[in-house]
Structure 1
Amino acid sequence: MLASFQNKNLHAILVSESWLKPCLPSSSFCLPGFHLIRNDRLGRPGGGVAIYLRSHIPFTVIEFSQQHNSPGAEYLFIEVLFFNTKLLLGVFYNPSLTIDYFMSFEDLLEKFTPLFSHTIIMGDFNTCLLKNDSRTSRFTSIVKAANLNILPLSATHAFPNCSPSLLDLILVSSTTHVEKFGQCVATAFSYHDLLFLSYKLRPPKAKRKILMRRNFSGIDFDSLAEDVSKIDWSGVLNASSIDEKLNYFNSLITQLYDKHAPIRPVRLKHLPAPWLTDEVKRLQKIRNIAKAKYRVDPNETNREKYRKARNRCNRLCRDEHRRYIFKSVIEEDDSARVWNFLKSLGVGKQQRDINSQNLNLNSLNQHFSSSVTFDNITKLNTISQISASPTPDTPFFQFSQFTNSDVKKNILAVSSNSVGSDCISRQMGVPERMDNPEAPNSTAIKRSNKNTQNILSGAKNMRY
């Protein structure tokens, strides 16, 4: 089902009868670029409703069904904010043709629809509007009383050996804002049709991500080398403790790079898309030109040229995307790179921010000290093994003296550019291109090596 929703123009996906349970993490059913909002059924199999909403669109959950073992309608209503316009977006699921959900549904509409300028409710109501019976009459009267409109659809459910029925509906507050709607089959995963709606409201633009990065590309290596030679390391040597030495050393390095490679905001315009090859970009340019011509002169000839250019571009882009995924996931031997790529697509566990200030260390220590209990025999055996002298085959641990070249070799062996709590990255000791002997601009490389050697040599008398 998730593979059916790769269109970048979709803003929300409403799911009735999701079958999700609280034990199933949302990260296993995520869509890249979407936030999953769930209301799972508890106590019984099946059921549940959910909404996939674009992650840059603000929302607030305002109402959801609370049920455990008793059968009843299931729903999830959220408030979506489009600039200064509030939209009520809801998904509804009635699990049986015999359940009387009309009173609760009427209460929901009376409570929330007057508060919003626009309302969209979609779902499986299990009330066939192709029949002229009391359920149909009661449902339509409730919808009209709430000033909502039922968009006309054909039969949406076709179970084998049963007559088609119209159970899945789209309710909107204003038909003038409906640009397009309809249905399409979903034979791969459901007997119900997929309903779609294009509602003319301008959604908020995704906020561009801003990262704080040092400007290593703008370093004046001559000036940097001169300032490195002037650094006074006496404060590091005269410090009384190892922590003071390290803090003083880090402050000298940070001040040096604050001057020569200051931190600046970098605005990310687009997410990385390595599958966009030169050929894809060329076809995108042809497509955009054809689209511009069609807008200026919307005749049938220009429309056909634009359609062919668009389809050819989309087809090649999908092929390159699949080829890149296959190469990155199937043919990649490095498991770390595979998982990093999968995380970029939204696959895997979502990161959670942990506030260490709210962490009670005493409680944490008590938990681990009391969670596992050992009997006296196990304790005595463990103590005796720890107290026993090492066997001749066990190598003794000894501290050994290290040289400047050992320090430099280990610094150059670091491949991560992550910045720790000291705000110092690998690039601040190894400027870009230094670790690539075949890179262009050999003069800059020599200068980088010289600068790093000066920094290392400046601390040559320090021993930790």
Structure 2
Amino acid sequence: MSNNRSMRSMVRVLSKQKCGLRICHINAQSLLPKIDEFRDIFTDSDVDVICVTETWLRDELNDDICCLEGYRVFRFNRVNRVGGGVAIYVKRTIKCKLKLSATVDSTIEYLFVEVVGNDGNLLLGTIYRPNRYIDFSPLYTVLEEISLSSPNIVLCGDFNCNLLNTNVLTHNMQTYNLKPANTNVPTHYFGRDASLLDLMFVSDIHDVAFYDQLSAPAFSKHDLIFLTLRFSLDFSVEKITYRDFHNINIQELGDRTREINWDAMYYLPSSNDQIEFLTYNISNLFNTHVPLKTKILKPNNKPWFTVNIRNLIQQRDDAYTNWKRYRLNELRRAFCSLRNRVVAEIRKAKAKAKKTRHHQVWDSYKESLKKYKQELRIAKRSHGDPSVSQ
């Protein structure tokens, strides 16, 4: 990967390599403190499914706090203990439903979502095994149940099993007809050690059109892993239907309303006929002068995510790449300094944007109030109100 490109731009590069279902996984090691950069990276991207492990989210936090525009989110949160947790973000244009979730006492955390395709469905699971001492048996039990009814499966997550040192997991997964997409490139870096912990397993390796990974210094020492699967989606575009009251031609609406013989309603034989008369004419006025419009929902950009912040992010990512390559203490200090600066700049920019928005709303309110008072004064003057000064 080129060192002079930000993670945001590289995700877009990966997404355009091949056609198919674009899936990525990242170990976030606490998502909320990084949610702003997470949104900047993936909002308006071509990634269809984003799997996240170690979300560190809690049940009392609603989805709004970790939402991603243009995606629906499925979550499993660890209960009674800190850390852990998994989430799956799926584009709203994709038909899907939650199929299976871990229980509170599960030693391995997981979520399974069923994605609807034109030629059959796909079962997509996100797995988090907290440490290498936890037995895989609970996961194997789940796979034994679902593999019989779901021939097309994709698993991704942090398995905390280094495939560079052992092939036991790979061998056991073959029992459920699952093969790893990557068997020799490390995904986790700690000190001078490198290991392959972040994995993707698929039912048919020939369905993998593209696989790659890239450093994710915004989140953790784990690489982001990315896979494009040959899978034909059944799309469902999210739309809203509304009436545009802001652009009504009041003059034409008034003229058309006055043309209707409303007195005719009083001569109708029953109340039902009168209601039908009113409903027909009012609906006709609405449909003619305030017609229904349909709009496809699109994500909004965050105006406070400035060019300066993007440049700092790129510098931080480059510093991380240099540290990962040479493993020198001074390079690590440079990366940590830039990482902390990015966090501080994002926090400061958000606070400034919030303050600016508050002033804009207040100024708009004052302007509307001033205009209303002027119109009220003119109306009173036109009616000869002596209390209004000339």
Superposition TM-score tier, normalisation by shorter sequence: 0.5 to 0.7
Is contact 2:107–2:138 with CA below 8 Å preserved after alignment?
A: no
Unaligned 5+ segments in structure 1 are 237-243, 276-324, 339-408, 414-464
Confirm or deny that 1:176 pairs with 2:194: no
Q: When you count strand as a share of all residues, which structure comes out higher?
A: 2
Confirm or deny that 1:255 pairs with 2:281: yes
Closer/same/farther in 2, CA of residues 212 and 31 from structure 1, 3 Å limit: closer
Closer/same/farther in 2, CA of residues 328 and 114 from structure 1, 3 Å limit: same
For residue 6 of structure 1, report the CA deviation from its aligned partner: 3.1
Is contact 1:21–1:41 with CA below 8 Å preserved after alignment?
A: yes
Confirm or deny that 1:201 pairs with 2:235: no
Rg (Cα) greater in structure: 1
Closer/same/farther in 2, CA of residues 144 and 335 from structure 1, 3 Å limit: same
RMSD: 4.0
For residue 85 of structure 1, report the CA deviation from its aligned partner: 1.8
Closer/same/farther in 2, CA of residues 40 and 336 from structure 1, 3 Å limit: farther
The alignment of Structure 1 onto Structure 2 pairs a total of residues equal to: 275
The structure with higher relative contact order (CA 8 Å, sep 6+) is: 2
Is the partner of 2:125 in helix, strand or coil?
Answer: strand
Q: Determine the structure 2 residue equivalent to 1:115.
A: 149
Q: Determine the structure 2 residue equivalent to 1:92.
A: 127
**Mapping of 1:293-442 within 5 angstroms?**
331-332=356-357, 333-335=359-361
Is the partner of 1:183 in helix, strand or coil?
Answer: strand
AA in 2 matched with 1:93: Y
Is contact 2:69–2:299 with CA below 8 Å preserved after alignment?
A: no
AA in 2 matched with 1:51: I
Return the alpha-carbon distance in structure 1 between the equivalents of residues 129 and 45 of structure 2.
Answer: 30
Is contact 1:38–1:49 with CA below 8 Å preserved after alignment?
A: yes
Is the partner of 2:154 in helix, strand or coil?
Answer: strand
TM-score by length of 1: 0.51
For residue 326 of structure 1, report the CA deviation from its aligned partner: 11
Q: Determine the structure 2 residue equivalent to 1:46.
A: 83
For residue 55 of structure 1, report the CA deviation from its aligned partner: 1.7
For residue 269 of structure 1, report the CA deviation from its aligned partner: 5.1
Q: Determine the structure 2 residue equivalent to 1:131.
A: 165
Deviations along 1:166-219, one digit per CA (max 9) or x if unpaired, are 111110111222111121111122011111111121223342625253799897
Closer/same/farther in 2, CA of residues 218 and 142 from structure 1, 3 Å limit: same
Unaligned 5+ segments in structure 2 are 1-33, 303-349, 365-371, 377-390
Is the partner of 1:85 in helix, strand or coil?
Answer: coil
Return the alpha-carbon distance in structure 1 between the equivalents of residues 210 and 363 of structure 2.
Answer: 42
Return the alpha-carbon distance in structure 2 between the equivalents of residues 229 and 19 of structure 1.
Answer: 64
Q: Determine the structure 1 residue equivalent to 2:190.
A: 159
Return the alpha-carbon distance in structure 2 between the equivalents of residues 106 and 77 of structure 1.
Answer: 14
Q: Determine the structure 2 residue equivalent to 1:29.
A: 66
Return the alpha-carbon distance in structure 1 between the equivalents of residues 185 and 107 of structure 2.
Answer: 26
Closer/same/farther in 2, CA of residues 187 and 272 from structure 1, 3 Å limit: closer
AA in 2 matched with 1:185: S
Is contact 1:128–1:167 with CA below 8 Å preserved after alignment?
A: yes
Return the alpha-carbon distance in structure 1 between the equivalents of residues 191 and 253 of structure 2.
Answer: 79
Return the alpha-carbon distance in structure 1 between the equivalents of residues 253 and 140 of structure 2.
Answer: 75
Deviations along 1:345-401, one digit per CA (max 9) or x if unpaired, are xxxxxxxxxxxxxxxxxxxxxxxxxxxxxxxxxxxxxxxxxxxxxxxxxxxxxxxxx
Is contact 1:155–1:166 with CA below 8 Å preserved after alignment?
A: yes
AA in 2 matched with 1:334: Q
TM-score by length of 2: 0.60
